Structure 1
Amino acid sequence: MTIPHAALEAAAIWPDVMGVIDNDKRLTFAELAQAMKQAAGAFVAAGLQPGERVAIWASNSLEWIVACLGLQAAGGVLVPLNTRFRGAEVDYILRRSNTVMAVAATEFLDTRYAEVIEGLAIPHMRRVIHIGADDPKGWDAFLAEATPASIAEGEARTAALTGDTVCDIMFTSGTTGDPKGVLATHAQVVETARLWAKATTLTAGDRFMVLWPFFHCSGYKAAWVVCLTVGAGIVPEATLDVPSLVDKVEREQVTFLPGPPTLFTTLLNAKEFDPKRVASIRVAVTGAASVAPSMITAMNEVLGIPTVLTGYGLTECNGTATMSKAGDPPETIVNSCGSAIDGIELKIIDADGNPLPPGEAGEVMIRGMNVMLGYLDDPKATEEAIDPDGWLHSGDIGILDEAGYLRITDRKKDIFIVGGFNCYPAEIEKMLLAHPAILQVAVTGIPDERMGEVGRAFVVLKPGTELDEKTLIAWSREHMANFKVPRSVIFSDELPTNATGKVQKFKLPA
């Protein structure tokens, strides 16, 4: 099974079901398959050869999905670009991946993406196709270039695709160095998508609002590709605008709504909000940032969302490794990432590579069909990431309990040592979130002459609350071991986050 074949299968099984609902742009699954064939024909007519790379740099939209399906159906390899990137970051990825074509938005987030790429003078870039531009370079004009012969060639290439064909190169965030290109196959993506759907109960008839960005595994592999495999409608959302989102949820009867904690806290704190407007939602997925159990309870009881889930994954394992279960109590949802999905193995190892028993912290290791082929043109990094037995080094520190539920305590690189004691920022952050005035928090280690390192907390307060550094440190001393207590606190209106809601600690003041 490949991603284009999943689209064709959806068209055969659910031809008249609405497959994509992008405001006034709507396609049934049958129409989506036809749009894919047209786009594949256009890529063939434009000279794309099997195995060549095509970048997409745009917001969540119907065009993004059709462009991806079309280039993959024509045998191309997707290179998605983060919409928060700037020119230098895009230049690095396009050159590193030898990308030959790009589909780019005319403008989004005050950036003219297509113009940026055209201004980079990438030597192997043959064409930039504009999305949102009514001009000769525009998307509709590009599609019109397809001919009966090129469409037939595209269909032949689709038929020749196998599960072992590379479908995308997704670059890691680069928070610990230069971004690395992660290679994945069609079979890995489709099979992981099916397992994700099973774990989350997504099924035919659901309507999935995709706030997660398409350039990320979450919005691409754990969202719209998943919908193709089960016949769920895809509702793309380009930006998080809560009033607009609520209108769309109510209008389109959205049933499945993953989103950042800030979305749900906004709804819960809105004084005049009527929860009946989101009564169609049966499943929410959250967990990009630490949250308190009280928020999960409020999502159930106040917003009326029966099932709230959280999971864990990496780009290197196609975005998915674990998922919580419907009916898990709030404490389980906020204090764990769930258990391994079907077909995936987890283990925890110590610094010497020895397996650790339940309850002991060590590096999280992942094995299964979801583990990447490797890093693009980097056999050394691939060998360091995947051991000879197929276990992927996640770089995360975690604990497995007796029931197989995983709790991530931190990234290996984020550990700081206070007077000989290992401190895991994520653990301290969860403790600080128990304070009634704290909405969001990030903890880092900073140098200290006496202790080697000590903790510093960056805090965002809940609206209408007050808290000062001295009071919070005193409270912390009552609620956690002394070596875990932050020695300094910086208050802020917001924390720097990436497009998926994760705090970018490297952007916090030193």
Structure 2
Amino acid sequence: MELSISTGPAEPPLLGSTIGADLLATVARHGDREALVDCDSGRRWTYAQLKTSVDSVALGLRRLGVTKGDRVGIWAPNGAEWVLTQYATARLGAILVTVNPAYRSHELRYVLQQSGVRTLVAASSFKNSDYAAMIAEVRPQCPELVDVVLIGEDSWDSLTDISADPALLDGIEATLRPDDPINIQYTSGTTGFPKGATLSHRNILNNGYLVGELINYTEADRICIPVPFYHCFGMVMGNLAATSHGATMVIPAPGFDPGLTLEAVAKESCTSLYGVPTMFIAMLNHPRIDSFDLSSLRTGIMAGSPCPVETMKQVIERMGMTEVSICYGMTETSPVSCQTRTDDSLERRVSTVGRAGPHLEVKIVDAEGATAPIGVTGELCTRGYSVMLGYWEQPEKTAEAIDAEGWMHTGDLAVMDTDGYLRITGRIKDLVIRGGENVYPREVEEFVLTHPDVLDVQVIGVPDDTYGEEVMAWVRMRPGTAPLDAESLRSFCSGRLAHYKIPRYVRVVDDFPMTVTGKVRKVEMREISIRELS
């Protein structure tokens, strides 16, 4: 009996440097090449100019008293200053604490207190968020917070108004090690407060580098990054993948806007584009998509949540992203564990999340923790260089997630084929059990998406007195089509899905509740549905 366990390739070799040292090496190789484009402000940096700006921010932080191991928070939408702060803290060996731009004051207070942030770099405001006011509100309860630097204000100007002294920073760099913690990312908790996944230089630098290797990045690539920097998708798969290859980071806008993203791809001749499926759906349905020249695109990454088959096909056919890659992972694994390859068939790229990345192992385990046979659904676990150091100051939570053999338990249900390719079937907590029958939402979602009037769908379970749970579908309709009701959807599914998988309830919506990273909040959908269904 063949078991569901697979090991990724041993090539290319892992990088053995810190993030700062890797940036310096890239500057030495590609100093005159363009490194960063901030479309919103029109500013541009070559790699040599980027180093100068990064060093200026690093020295400004050092002048404030920031040293190795200190926590520096950043609370802002995407922008050049975010990137500068990311690399400046890496040069100092300070631990960058990335704060979700959607947080409100009580969540901000928790993160600042739990991680012990000493210095906070923040936007003064963005959209309907008054960051400066919220910081002022929570600051009295955060005694470890010494300095607040507001981007675009005098405090930022003062921080960066200093000539770079490479000798000082190079001396600090010599004391840093690849396994030092360098980043704390708070996972979007569905119950209670989020946990701070603590990541090292080795974790995230190698993950960004190897993700880029698998889609053949070189210094000629220009990567459009509309996904948020506060999450691994933006700062690791975007920024670190770019700088480890000498490629260009293109920031289309502070927050995701489908039109501005398409415009950035066209104007900056981007070769790669990132997004979660809902972002690609929004771009594909933009009324002017055909007016943008997207011919420069060849690759990109789709991740964050399962990709509808039809969306993937359109991204390849209409946007020209013939080498687009599906990535799977989680914050605790830096984030990518599995990835499709550029030479994978279309079928594999629309039906799986690929196979284990270089220097990583993956396996499927049953409820007792034993490795499951090939083709049997169970929990996906991963092990290797990418697994976090642990949850910040939460050893008990760390032990619950990472077992004694170093396997990270993801909480995701998956099935592996004989070639090591993985298909995600849902979250353990999202599994719907109707009358003793297991219903995997992903399977039902893929079928409902074959309805010609359905743009997107999410399937959840809601309580039921008779069956324990019933299946409910939240549906987004294509423009100009009539809303579906439960009876018509059941009729569409009848005879083509097993009766227990057919949604009993249907709710037509304009949008799904989302996290800032584009993940659908099924917990919130269930709460809303339970209230409405009484």
Q: TM-score interval w.r.t. the shorter chain?
A: over 0.9
* Structure 2 contact 262–283 (Cα < 8 Å) conserved: no
- State which drifts further: 477-486 or 20-29: 477-486
Distance 2:287 2:51 in 1: 44
Q: Is it true that 1:429 corresponds to 2:445 in the alignment?
A: yes
- 2:317 counterpart residue number: 301
Task: Give, in angstroms, the shift of residue 88 of structure 1.
Answer: 0.9
Task: Give, in angstroms, the shift of residue 101 of structure 1.
Answer: 0.7
- 2:77 counterpart residue number: 59
Q: Provide structure 2 residue ranges, at least 5 long, that are not aligned to the other structure.
A: 1-16
Q: Is it true that 1:125 corresponds to 2:145 in the alignment?
A: yes
Task: Give, in angstroms, the shift of residue 271 of structure 1.
Answer: 5.6
Give the counterpart of 1:207 among 208, 222, 225: 222
Q: Is it true that 1:141 corresponds to 2:158 in the alignment?
A: yes
Task: Give, in angstroms, the shift of residue 102 of structure 1.
Answer: 0.4
Structure 2 counterparts to residues 445-456 of structure 1, below 5 A? 445-456=461-472
Paired AA for residue 43 in structure 2: K
* Structure 1 contact 360–400 (Cα < 8 Å) conserved: yes
Give the counterpart of 1:500 among 503, 510, 517: 517
Q: Secondary structure at the match of 1:302?
A: helix
Task: Give, in angstroms, the shift of residue 288 of structure 1.
Answer: 3.4
* Structure 1 contact 259–286 (Cα < 8 Å) conserved: yes
Structure 2 counterparts to residues 75-474 of structure 1, below 5 A? 75-121=93-139, 122-133=142-153, 135=154, 137=155, 139-144=156-161, 152-237=167-252, 238-270=254-286, 273-274=289-290, 277-466=293-482, 467-474=484-491
Task: Give, in angstroms, the shift of residue 276 of structure 1.
Answer: 6.1
Change (3 A) 1:147 1:309: closer
* Structure 1 contact 10–30 (Cα < 8 Å) conserved: no
Task: Give, in angstroms, the shift of residue 407 of structure 1.
Answer: 0.9
Q: Secondary structure at the match of 1:239?
A: coil
Give the counterpart of 2:59 among 32, 36, 41: 41
Distance 2:360 2:291 in 1: 37
* Structure 2 contact 56–162 (Cα < 8 Å) conserved: no
* Structure 1 contact 16–30 (Cα < 8 Å) conserved: yes
Q: Secondary structure at the match of 1:294?
A: helix
Distance 1:471 1:288 in 2: 31
Higher RCO structure, 1 or 2 (CA under 8 Å, sep 6+): 2
- State which drifts further: 292-301 or 468-477: 292-301
Distance 2:521 2:285 in 1: 25
- 1:486 counterpart residue number: 503
Deviation readout 1:202-248 (Å, 9 max, x if unpaired): 22110001111000010011110111111110012322223322222
Paired AA for residue 333 in structure 1: R
Task: Give, in angstroms, the shift of residue 478 of structure 1.
Answer: 2.6
Task: Give, in angstroms, the shift of residue 6 of structure 1.
Answer: 1.6
- State which drifts further: 37-46 or 256-265: 256-265
* Structure 1 contact 200–323 (Cα < 8 Å) conserved: no
* Structure 1 contact 275–303 (Cα < 8 Å) conserved: no
Distance 1:350 1:273 in 2: 45
- State which drifts further: 461-470 or 220-229: 461-470
CA RMSD of aligned residues (A): 1.8
Q: Secondary structure at the match of 1:125?
A: coil
Task: Give, in angstroms, the shift of residue 27 of structure 1.
Answer: 1.0
Distance 1:276 1:58 in 2: 29
Change (3 A) 1:287 1:145: closer
- 2:492 counterpart residue number: 475
Task: Give, in angstroms, the shift of residue 161 of structure 1.
Answer: 0.9
Change (3 A) 1:487 1:160: same
TM-score calculated relative to the size of structure 1: 0.95
TM-score calculated relative to the size of structure 2: 0.91
Paired AA for residue 29 in structure 1: Y
Distance 2:353 2:56 in 1: 41
Distance 2:191 2:383 in 1: 23
Task: Give, in angstroms, the shift of residue 163 of structure 1.
Answer: 0.4
Task: Give, in angstroms, the shift of residue 97 of structure 1.
Answer: 0.4
Task: Give, in angstroms, the shift of residue 198 of structure 1.
Answer: 1.2
* Structure 1 contact 429–441 (Cα < 8 Å) conserved: yes
Change (3 A) 1:60 1:97: same
* Structure 2 contact 425–442 (Cα < 8 Å) conserved: yes
Distance 1:271 1:378 in 2: 48
Change (3 A) 1:274 1:493: closer
Distance 2:47 2:107 in 1: 35
Q: Secondary structure at the match of 1:441?
A: strand
Distance 2:435 2:36 in 1: 55
* Structure 1 contact 7–32 (Cα < 8 Å) conserved: no
Aligned length, in residue pairs = 505
Paired AA for residue 49 in structure 2: E
* Structure 1 contact 210–235 (Cα < 8 Å) conserved: yes
Task: Give, in angstroms, the shift of residue 505 of structure 1.
Answer: 1.1
Paired AA for residue 469 in structure 1: A
